[in-house]
Structure 1
Amino acid sequence: MSHTVVIKDIRNVTHDVKRIRLEKPSGYSFTPGQATEVAVDRDGWRDEKRPFTFTSLESDSVLEFIIKIYPDHDGVTEQIGQLTEGDSLIIGDPWGTIEYKEEGVFLAGGAGVTPFIAILRDLHNKGEIGNNQLIFSNKTEEDIILKNEFESILGSQFINVITREEPAGDHVFLDGEIGKDFLKSQINDFGQAFYVCGPDAFNESIMDALKELGADPEALVFEE
């Protein structure tokens, strides 16, 4: 079932990421980590559906998405980047992507952090952040999505990794991508759950490294 929903607020989170808040259809429900198909309510684009994860919570009065805009792709996100308050999106029913199972380590690459936002917000609201850890890899400091919120929710359990430039802030700089040695230096227990989401190459390399370090394949949760 599809719903046409009006944008109530749209603003920049980073230089190429937007936060979009929409009216919430009556009775519409989802769980943290779930996504839906989204299309732009414009001629020629209504059948161009793309999956995006909800970053709002079930208890919120609005629906929220945090979406990276690719203006050079001439696609759906480029269209979304042109929208303003009062424009509409078309959303479908929610479906599962990443589901929280137990305390562990969240590993995100760039906009791959979006499935983790609602999960971590929900745990924070319940007072259940516990020992959960977020290792978040970005190319530059200006790419970091919701840096202040993650710092507030997770404190020292939020590890920022910058891979393209020496950061000025309190971040970890890696000249290259996250690998086995870095994971070994940051993680004490490879018997816990791991949640992985990012570009395909990021997911594959992280999953391979975790398995080599002794992680249980059954405890690896990733977006398929």
Structure 2
Amino acid sequence: MKNNHVVKVLKAQFITHDVKSFVVEKPIGYDFVPGQATEISINQPKWKNEKRPFTFTNLKESNYLEFMIKIYKDRNGVTDELGRINAGDELILHDVFGTINYKGPGVFIAAGAGITPFISIFRDLYKNNQIYGNRLIYVNKTSEDVIMGNELRKMLKNNFINFYTRENVVGFQGKRIDRNFLIENIVDFSQNFYVCGPEDFVKTITKILLDLGATADAIVIEN
């Protein structure tokens, strides 16, 4: 059975130049596993049937829900409209789904907004003192695109690797993430890997990891 929940937006603000955080009411009994997502639509006649998947970024025990959504202003679509949504407006939440679940320490590899499923996982691990043994390789075009960089650095410390593809910043990588980079930065390919980002990125990284000896069972991606 499909369950729809109309929720009020409690807070909405941009956290980067094109990513907006939404804090919304949490329906009674609404639960998720860190890494999971739901489909969201805007509770307005024109938009309520336009559903898009977004990941929860809050701790599961919070009394609210949070989403960090990349706004595409040039597409005249749902995210462009979400860019205009503010506190007091209403969204519609649908069923919870998602296959990115934490199964033990490993290397997280994210591109752009692909970091969002990992934020809830890291927050949960950090709160429970279980984040040790995890590393994050986070790929963005420029430093301005990094989502929650300060918090990720605080949680992961030296196990947080920033990687920029369009910008040469002193002390940071400035190229495409490739086989050589993974060989240089990952010693053990028998551990768990969590990969999220654009479809081509996930396919490319997954193929390289398999070529380097990772097992398909140990690679967690969104199916």
- After TM superposition, give the deviation of residue 57 of structure 1 in Å: 1.6
Provide Cα deviations, 1:80-102, integer angstroms capped at 9, x if missing partner. Answer: 00111100100012112301101
Cα distance between partner residues in 1 of 2:42 and 2:172: 37
Equivalences for residues 89-128 of structure 1 within 5 A: 89-128=91-130
For 1:171, the equivalent position in structure 2 comes to: 172
Q: Is the 8 A contact 1:35 1:97 kept in 2?
A: no
RMSD across aligned positions (CA): 0.9
* AA aligned opposite 1:80: L
Cα distance between partner residues in 1 of 2:71 and 2:167: 22
Total equivalences in the alignment: 221
Cα distance between partner residues in 1 of 2:112 and 2:169: 16
* AA aligned opposite 2:197: G
Secondary structure in structure 2 of the residue aligned to 1:14: coil
Cα distance between partner residues in 2 of 1:108 and 1:115: 9
Q: Is the 8 A contact 2:136 2:159 kept in 1?
A: yes
Q: Is the 8 A contact 1:37 1:92 kept in 2?
A: yes
Provide Cα deviations, 1:152-207, integer angstroms capped at 9, x if missing partner. Answer: 00000000000001125x43222xx2110000111110000000000011111101
For 1:207, the equivalent position in structure 2 comes to: 206
Q: Is the 8 A contact 2:26 2:63 kept in 1?
A: yes
Cα distance between partner residues in 1 of 2:48 and 2:105: 39
Q: Is the 8 A contact 1:31 1:57 kept in 2?
A: no
Alignment match of 2:138 (pick from 136, 139, 164): 136
Q: Is 2:100 aligned against 1:70? A: no
Q: Is the 8 A contact 1:56 1:65 kept in 2?
A: yes
Q: Is the 8 A contact 2:40 2:52 kept in 1?
A: yes
Secondary structure in structure 2 of the residue aligned to 1:72: coil
Secondary structure in structure 2 of the residue aligned to 1:73: coil
Secondary structure in structure 1 of the residue aligned to 2:117: helix
- Which deviates more from structure 2 when the two are superposed, residues 188-197 or residues 94-103? 94-103
For 2:221, the equivalent position in structure 1 comes to: 222
Q: Which runs of 5+ in 2 are unaligned?
A: none
Q: Which runs of 5+ in 1 are unaligned?
A: none
Identity %: 48
* AA aligned opposite 1:41: N
For 1:183, the equivalent position in structure 2 comes to: 182
* AA aligned opposite 2:180: D
- Which deviates more from structure 2 when the two are superposed, residues 212-221 or residues 189-198? 212-221
